Structure 1
Amino acid sequence: MTRRMLGTSGLEVSALGLGCMGMSEFYGAGDERESIATIHHAIDRGVDFLDTADMYGVGRNEELIGKAIADRRDAVVLATKFGNVRGEDGSFGGICGTPDYVRSACEASLKRLEVETIDLYYQHRVDPDVPIEETVGAMAELVREGKVRFLGLSEAAPETIRRAHAVHPIAALQTEYSLWSRDAEAGLLPAVRALGIGYVAYSPLGRGFLTGQFKTSDDFAPDDWRRNHPRFSGGNFEKNLALVGEIEAIAAEKGCTAAQLALAWVLAQGDDVVPIPGTRRTARLDENIGALDVVLTTEDLARIDRVLPPGAAAGERYHAQGMATLNG
């Protein structure tokens, strides 16, 4: 397994991570046994960078990861997040970045994960009502106490990242990045590179759409939240499906799948970029790992840019409420 450094932090991870969110929520019903088997298979294949958050499944995803790595903790780089508050019934209670909440959230995550230390601890979304210096200051205390090794931010604005980094080194920024979500190229990627911060790309397969497996909205489970996602709704679905057709055509010429082409493109954006595609199935995991063998030439990248330039996707990344929490 190829490995990559997250900026200049000293944190080394597999070049491809595993996003675990969908194992517990949002993408239809999951199977715990299958999910644990997939995590074990990932570790066996050298994928050691596991990504979760306290909000996924209202804590259930962290508990699942804890079970999966109980006998192989030293074989993984464990990343989780705090900040999106949810009630026990799953309701969303806004964003919180107060120092007291940072500490309580971390303690709760450690307990659910059944570990003594979190390798990479992200603020999931920036709290607009709490200065970033206060939030990161509390996160830095966790590092000094040995409860956290490295700090990260998710969906933060360049100036926020600079202010946070001045309080304590930030190892990684995580935001959405894929062939149909290229917003980060304008300001975020240059900003984190200037600071020596690694970049972790979530949803590198466009929430599965770039794999080509979805042809109509009926392909989603009834309780799959993508049914109501802006890019999967109304006329946007058909427009984005046409973009996937372009990806599939190029992939066929390269002798790979659409998913592998999409991941290879993200990997080709720099050695400081680490995509974390999510899957619950070992077959899909193996397919994703195959992207590491796909070599994109300068000509390939130029062609992809022509058919999928920044802003090509139809529809916003989230509904209005979710968009308001981005670039904080």
Structure 2
Amino acid sequence: MSTFERYLTIWVAACIVVGIALGQAFPTVFHAIGGAEIAKVNLPVAGLIWLMVIPMLLKIDFSALGQVGRHWRGIGVTLFINWAVKPFSMALLGWLFIGWLFRPLLPETQVGSYIAGLIILAAAPCTAMVFVWSNLTKGEPHFTLSQVALNDSIMVIAFAPIVALLLGLSAITVPWDTLILSVVLYIVLPVIAAQMLRRILLIGGSTRRLDGLLARLQPLSLVALLATLVLLFGFQGEQILAQPAVIGLLAVPILIQVYFNAGLAYLLNRLSGEEHCIAGPSALIGASNFFELAVAAAISLFGFNSGAALATVVGVLIEVPVMLTVVWIVNHSKGWYERGLPARKPIASERV
């Protein structure tokens, strides 16, 4: 691990402070950058996410995707967490903290809207950033890609009914433009670009050029991650300073939900005998959220200035720093995790 990676937590904290400060010092600039979006998908952030996900996508060999079936336990655990646990646990946490414990500290007229925003946030599994988290935990790239693709397929069918059920609505308006654009922008296009580049680099049969590029891209990927953090906190700096107490209270159930779902997925994978390179991305996919879709759905249902929209924005703000702590836990518990597994032959990705 490089010195830069070793002190990543410090850089993250610095980027949060810098982002808020720059957002206040240059509001016009950040408003302009924040306004460069299509269907609630911010294009500058999308470009940075491309830089973050390309290193993992370059590692994917489509001829090896058929091996993913051997990790059916990890796939089952992740689907169980994403669709049978996460939305319902967030509804419970939202009611407990926002609807009861913190209720006297929050605007009474917005309490129901805050809970709705939390539920919307939890009902949409993450699409793009999980490639970053998986890469940081040395996760199996083929499993990560196939799991994200499977979640996106289920989300098209299940997102609206789950949200409608938990919010007590007869129907909801799904922001299809955001959903489709995000899948194309964050999965389809970067996968195609990465595979084309991979084929070019592997001409001649040697992996030397591919390995060299991956080594150069790794620090660039982390810089893009930190730049994304600066932008996200710069966009929302005014909100943070205007309503710090509300944002802090909304963050509590989100934090608990992230650690609960990540921990549950991690433990279930260990109990099932799944390998660490699968358990890591499984835990991270199970805990993270598709915040572009959540923000768009909250705005379309409740309005731009609603408590629901604010709750989803809080999810955006804590996504990167909190998921990095989950990455740290997964990496530092690898020895403990593997001591509980039966002896087995390493999979192909571990022999490389």
Give TM-score, length-normalised by structure 2: 0.25
* Higher Rg: 2
Return the structure number with greater helix share. Answer: 2
Return the structure number with greater strand share. Answer: 1
Give TM-score, length-normalised by structure 1: 0.26
Greater length-normalized contact order (CA 8 Å, ≥ 6 residues apart): 2
